[in-house]
Structure 1
Amino acid sequence: MELYQRTIHDLHDMLKNGDTSSTALTQSVLSRIQGVDGKIGAYLTVMGEYALEQAAAADKTIKEGKAGSPLLGIPVAIKDNMCTTGMKTTCASKILESFVPPYDATVVARLRQAGSVFVGKTNMDEFAMGSSTEN
């Protein structure tokens, strides 16, 4: 079973026990995105380099024995209508194509605090008004 196919619970245990690293897990997820996203268009933005930096920081925290959160080192994707400091948030709209919010949405801030690894921003209908993921 590939790393990207495992549950968060399994991955947390594997990270905690040293059976894998957040870097390896993140690379697995990024490879999967690269392999299938051209066909399905799930991501508007993929943040590979940023994700690998976050993963390395998580690996360091885990190695130091400070792994408190079950989400530490776990790759996540953020829907493109959630504000993310320093990352484009477009709501899948051309009118917001260069908007970079100065703050995080509460859910994003909590994921950051937990040590999650942000791999990208996911596609959606423009302004989340619909169900077909067309924009």
Structure 2
Amino acid sequence: MSLLKGTKTASEWIREGKSCNDHAEALRCFCQALNLEPQNRNAIFNKGVACLNLGRCNEALKCFEFLSEQDPENVTLLEMKGRAYQEMHGYRKAVMVFSEALEIVGAKADEDIDLKRKLKRLINRSV
């Protein structure tokens, strides 16, 4: 708890949201964290995941796009963007994003074979 009794920090709200089994409640926690720290990348990412799980794909996509602007080679963000497009039936965009993620993974010296397989499966589902 923060110095004021009964108030939580952004980190505490994020921790509470991550421990929720209810996506709507988790989203509420991440939004509380963002009220306190609007640029908190962890809260933005988790808000995006919660929105995606709730079928709020446009809102999820905004979160992942915002974060991707700051970290364009983050494969996890690209995967989440692709999933949002996939859920919105934007298959062409999903394939483009998943392919971009595969290129980044393939360019790394320590290639992650499991991640490549996972991304290829997502591409196949999007086609």
TM range (shorter): 0.3 to 0.5
Larger relative CO (CA 8 A, sep 6+): 1 or 2?
1
* Greater share of strand: 1
* Greater share of helix: 2
Query: Whose Rg is larger?
Result: 2
